[in-house]
């Protein structure tokens, strides 16, 4: 089964989509298998991270912004603004696809794992996610 959905991100940051993906796994009615999440963009990405304490996500965001700051004088791809090239770099350092086994009809995520869209652009964007369950 392949399904797509759109998420409107409020701007830069980690936005949880675990429940949206879990709902598609339930809809698939597959008991044991594999769920793959794919993002159709190069300036936003996917990651699985700690879903409990929000301070972990804030620190991830801070650290990645420090590693890939805007205003780098060596960037030449700047037509779309100062957040454009950092967004591409952050995307290649994280994930465009994630595969999670399904056990007893449920994503085999660990207790502290949540699935997140990582929006790297400053402004809100509509992001397309494609999910395969098989």
Q: For residues 37 and 95, is the Cβ–Cβ distance under 8 A?
A: no
Closest contact distance (angstroms) between CB of 41 and its own copies is 5
Give the chain's largest Cα–Cα span: 52
In this chain, which stretch among 5-13, 18-26, 84-92 interacts with its own copies, using CB under 8 A? Answer: 84-92
d(CA 81, CA 63): 21
Can residue 93 be called a binding residue for its own copies (CB under 8 A)? yes
Give the SS3 label for residue 52.
coil
**Member of 11, 23, 26, 97 binding its own copies (CB under 8 A):** 97
Site for its own copies in 37-56 (CB under 8 A): 38-42, 47-50, 53, 55-56
Can residue 30 be called a binding residue for its own copies (CB under 8 A)? no
Give the SS3 label for residue 47.
strand
d(CA 125, CA 38): 16
Closest contact distance (angstroms) between CB of 33 and its own copies is 7
């Amino acid at each position: 089964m392949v399904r797509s959905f759109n998420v409107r991100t409020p701007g830069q940051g980690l936005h949880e989509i675990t429940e949206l993906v879990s709902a598609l796994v339930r809809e698939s009615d597959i008991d044991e298998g594999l769920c793959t999440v794919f993002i159709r963009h190069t300036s936003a990405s996917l990651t699985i991270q700690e879903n409990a304490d929000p301070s972990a996500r804030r620190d991830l965001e801070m650290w990645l912004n420090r590693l890939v700051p805007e205003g780098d004088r060596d960037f030449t791809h700047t037509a779309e603004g100062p957040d454009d090239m950092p967004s591409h770099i952050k995307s290649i350092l994280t994930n465009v696809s994630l595969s999670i086994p399904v056990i007893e009809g449920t994503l085999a995520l660990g207790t502290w794992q949540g699935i997140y869209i990582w929006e790297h652009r400053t402004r809100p964007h509509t992001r397309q996610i494609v999910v395969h369950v098989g």
